[in-house]
């Protein structure tokens, strides 16, 4: 055999499905082996025999493009092979492109396709260009040209991952293009002298090599999820196991997009203690993290926040039960700096509380809530009118509603979508006058409102001639206009503020076109007089593949549940990270959903409005159930 085949190794993975990609086959000996982790025992035995043997590769024939019908199985481990002594320039290019997709984080084999100087200076770092499929390569110069062979490699850009491991979708349909120059080394071997500036992967390879994780920072007193990607494979020699990567990323600081509105409790420049290669749990589900001298003798409250950031970051990554995090200072005895438990970290994190009720608008245009009827045999949710003026006043018809996180107030929009009322959910009384009135109609008036955890209320006027995003400070002040950069002439048709209050999801419609989903950062800078001017900055596409988005809701751990349609497909509901990357398959039976609501409490069911059934809910691990025929506009507090 000229070369060893790439080997396959089964592993546990999330529910991401691989997409078709382009692979290149050549006589350089590049070979992909795959093994199905879910195959039956007999099939696995046969696969083991196959992988134990040698693969015979062709030694003649033209290099050709091979379209993989199902892409590379995401449950494989891929190793590349070095170039053969007599590899042609085309084979060197193909081999290098394949070697970039290996599971070696140091890219040692890929460097063997480069000249000695290029290999030494090539520092792709953690930045990655993600392509929709594989790379196409076109020769621009041949071996006979004085400068040597030169190839153009191109592809369709899907996203980029920056040096801080943050994912950014490409929304402009951009093209990737690089030029690879080859030279002859020692008058014997062809090598690449100009490699790409960063790593280039197809989407299926990116999903195989990297996994999403949230690292956590504070916005005021509230913990906020900052999504990034880390390599899935362990490499103890270079501290490349996922847990250590996630901790290092946390210590390096927040992503550039979220950075202006969050802070880290770690002193600037804090790193893991020199020589720390990996982090692991002990038998009591405790993670001990040794830090360098930068932490010194930080005050206990600050240390508690540092440990809380670590606990939530690692627990989000592993999915395992992490009960305690202990920070160790750098000294002779490696003494303890502080410790947090799961319970104490929950207090420090200041997350929103679990809701007591679910709410919706019934067929008579009343705001009602669902409360578990403990006395019933089937434990069904029973609707009841909300307390206060909405149930005792004369026939007010509700169009849309939102309930504050403490469930003491409701913001309701009148049926004609022209008036916004702030109503206490307490003792009976007169219906309050509207705090905001617009000229619109049922089709272009006020959107459904949304509360943030600080008590501010948000709502948008859909007037095509004068669209406005409004904010009511503390839910009691005078409504103020909020500047939104990047709308590009669009109008907001729906909105939802994240529970942490630093992000806002906006459905934006331009003209009579389709609705696109964006995430904006909520900036709250104070001026010299101490006043706060709130604005929404740096809109990012949150569902770039969906051609029309119907509804959305924030979900636990900084995710979004998005209902929409991809090109040529039926309506689906998918969980997505706030950076626009998909993290799970679609929910079953979501083709008729027109509204969704999700709680931060993962034990609570998804509630939705189905065009055919009314209010339906999906408990964890169960099927959709109809709970309120004729109901609509479902909401959890927020």
Give the tens place of pLDDT for each residue, 443-469: 889 999 999 988 999 999 999 889 999
The yes-or-no verdict on residue 12 having pLDDT over 70 is no
Among 82-96, 147-161, 279-293, 362-376, where is mean pLDDT lowest? Answer: 362-376
Please state the rounded mean pLDDT for residues 285-292.
92
CB atoms within 10 A of CB 53: 9
SS3 110: helix
How far is residue 422's CA from residue 411's CA, in Å, rounded to a whole number?
5
Helix 242-252, helix 300-318: angle, nearest 10: 140
pLDDT digits (tens, 9 = 90+) for 349-373: 998 889 999 999 999 999 999 875 5
Q: Tell me which residue of 214, 203, 205, 97 sits closest to 159, measured CA to CA.
A: 203
Q: What is the DSSP letter of 497?
A: E
Alpha-carbon dihedral 624, 629, 630, 633, rounded to 10 degrees: -40
Q: What value does the mean pLDDT take over residues 425-438?
A: 90
Task: Judge whether 156 and 178 are in contact, CB under 8 Å.
Answer: no
| pLDDT attached to residue 302 | 97
Q: How far apart are CA 559 and CA 298, in angstroms?
A: 33
CA distances 51 to 1, 205, 374, Å, are: 14, 21, 58
pLDDT digits (tens, 9 = 90+) for 105-135: 889 999 999 999 999 999 887 789 999 888 8
pLDDT value at position 379? 53
Q: Write down the pLDDT at residue 331.
A: 75
Pairing of strands 614-618, 625-628: antiparallel
pLDDT value of position 45:
33
Among 535, 470, 542, residue whose Cα is nearest residue 508: 542
* pLDDT, position 271: 95
**C-beta separation of 35 from 8 below 8 A:** yes
Segment 545-549 mean pLDDT: 90
Residue among 378, 396, 400, 377 nearest 388 (CA): 396
Q: Tens digits of per-residue pLDDT, 178-201?
A: 999 999 998 889 999 999 988 999
Residue 65 has pLDDT above 80, yes or no: no
Q: E strands along 545-623, which residues?
A: 546-555, 559-566, 571-577, 582-586, 593-597, 606-610, 614-618
- Return contacts of 332-339, CB within 8 angstroms, 24+ apart: 334/290, 337/291, 337/295, 337/298, 337/303, 338/300, 338/303, 338/304, 338/306, 338/307, 339/307
358-635 CATH: 2.120.10.30
Q: Would you kindly state where each structural domain of the chain is located, as residue ranges?
A: 22-209, 234-349, 358-635
Place of tokens 């679609």: 586
The helix-helix angle for 342-349 and 300-318 (nearest 10°) equals 110
Average pLDDT estimate for 224-246:
81
Count of residues making up the chain: 638
Q: Environment class of residue 55 by beta-carbon count within 10 Å: exposed (0-12), middle (13-18) or buried (19+)?
A: middle
Cα–chain center distance at 327: 28
Q: Report H helices in 327-402.
A: 342-349, 389-392
Q: What is the pLDDT of residue 5?
A: 35
What distance in Å separates the CA atoms of residue 434 and residue 470, rounded to the nearest whole number?
Answer: 14
Average pLDDT over the chain, rounded to whole? 83
């Amino acid at each position: 055999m000229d070369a060893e085949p790439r080997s396959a190794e089964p592993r546990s993975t999330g529910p991401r499905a691989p997409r078709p990609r382009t692979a290149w086959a050549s006589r350089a000996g590049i070979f992909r082996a795959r093994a199905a982790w879910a195959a039956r025992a007999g099939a696995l035995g046969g696969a083991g025999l196959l992988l134990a043997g040698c693969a015979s590769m062709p030694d003649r024939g033209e290099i050709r493009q091979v379209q993989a019908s199902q892409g590379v199985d995401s449950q494989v481990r891929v190793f590349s092979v070095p170039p053969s002594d007599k590899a042609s320039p085309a084979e060197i290019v193909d081999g290098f492109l394949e070697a970039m997709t290996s599971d070696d984080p140091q890219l040692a084999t890929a460097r063997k396709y480069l000249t000695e100087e290029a290999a030494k200076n090539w520092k792709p770092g953690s930045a990655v260009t993600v392509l929709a499929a594989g790379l196409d390569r076109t020769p621009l110069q041949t071996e006979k040209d004085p400068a040597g062979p030169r190839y153009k490699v191109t592809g369709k850009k899907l996203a980029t991952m920056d040096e801080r491991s943050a994912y950014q979708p490409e929304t402009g349909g951009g093209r990737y293009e690089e030029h690879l120059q080859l030279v002859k080394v020692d008058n014997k071997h062809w090598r690449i002298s100009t490699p790409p500036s960063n790593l280039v992967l197809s989407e299926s390879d990116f999903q195989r090599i990297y996994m999403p994780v949230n690292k956590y920072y504070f916005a005021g007193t509230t913990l906020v999820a900052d999504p990034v990607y880390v390599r899935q494979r362990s490499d103890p020699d270079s501290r490349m196991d996922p847990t250590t990567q996630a901790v290092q990323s946390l210590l390096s600081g927040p992503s550039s997009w979220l950075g202006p509105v969050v802070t880290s409790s770690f002193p600037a420049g804090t790193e893991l203690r020199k020589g720390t290669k990996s982090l692991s749990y002990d038998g009591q589900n405790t993670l001990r993290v040794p830090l360098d001298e930068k932490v010194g003798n930080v005050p206990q409250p600050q240390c508690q926040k540092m440990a809380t950031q670590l606990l939530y970051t690692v627990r989000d990554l592993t999915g395992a039960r992490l009960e305690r995090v202990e920070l160790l200072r750098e000294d002779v005895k490696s003494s303890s700096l502080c410790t947090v438990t799961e319970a104490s970290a929950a207090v420090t994190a200041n997350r929103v509380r679990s809701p007591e009720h679910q709410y919706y608008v019934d067929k008579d245009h009343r705001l009602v809530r669902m409360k578990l009827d403990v006395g019933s045999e089937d434990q069904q949710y029973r609707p009841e009118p909300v307390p206060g003026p909405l149930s005792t006043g004369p026939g007010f018809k509700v169009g849309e509603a939102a309930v504050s996180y403490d469930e003491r107030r409701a913001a309701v929009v009148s049926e004609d979508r022209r008036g916004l009322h702030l109503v206490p959910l307490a003792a009976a009384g007169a219906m309050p006058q509207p705090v905001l009135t617009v000229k619109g109609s049922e089709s272009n008036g006020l959107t459904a409102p949304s509360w943030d955890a600080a008590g501010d209320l948000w709502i948008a006027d859909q007037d095509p001639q004068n669209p406005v995003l409004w904010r009511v400070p503390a839910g009691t002040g005078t409504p103020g206009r909020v500047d939104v950069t990047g709308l590009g002439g669009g109008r907001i048709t729906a909105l939802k503020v994240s529970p942490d209050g630093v992000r806002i999801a906006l459905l934006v419609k331009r003209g009579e076109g389709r609705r696109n989903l964006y995430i904006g950062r909520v900036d709250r800078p104070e001026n010299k007089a101490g006043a706060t001017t709130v604005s929404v900055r740096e809109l990012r596409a949150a569902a770039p593949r969906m051609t029309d988005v119907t509804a959305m809701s924030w979900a636990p751990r900084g995710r979004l549940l998005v209902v929409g349609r991809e090109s040529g497909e039926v309506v689906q509901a998918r969980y997505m990270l706030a950076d626009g990357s998909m993290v799970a398959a679609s929910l079953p039976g979501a083709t008729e959903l027109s509204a969704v609501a999700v709680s931060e409490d993962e034990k609570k069911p998804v509630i939705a409005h189905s065009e055919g059934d009314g209010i339906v809910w999906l408990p964890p691990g169960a099927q959709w159930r109809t709970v309120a025929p004729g109901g609509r506009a479902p909401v959890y507090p927020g």
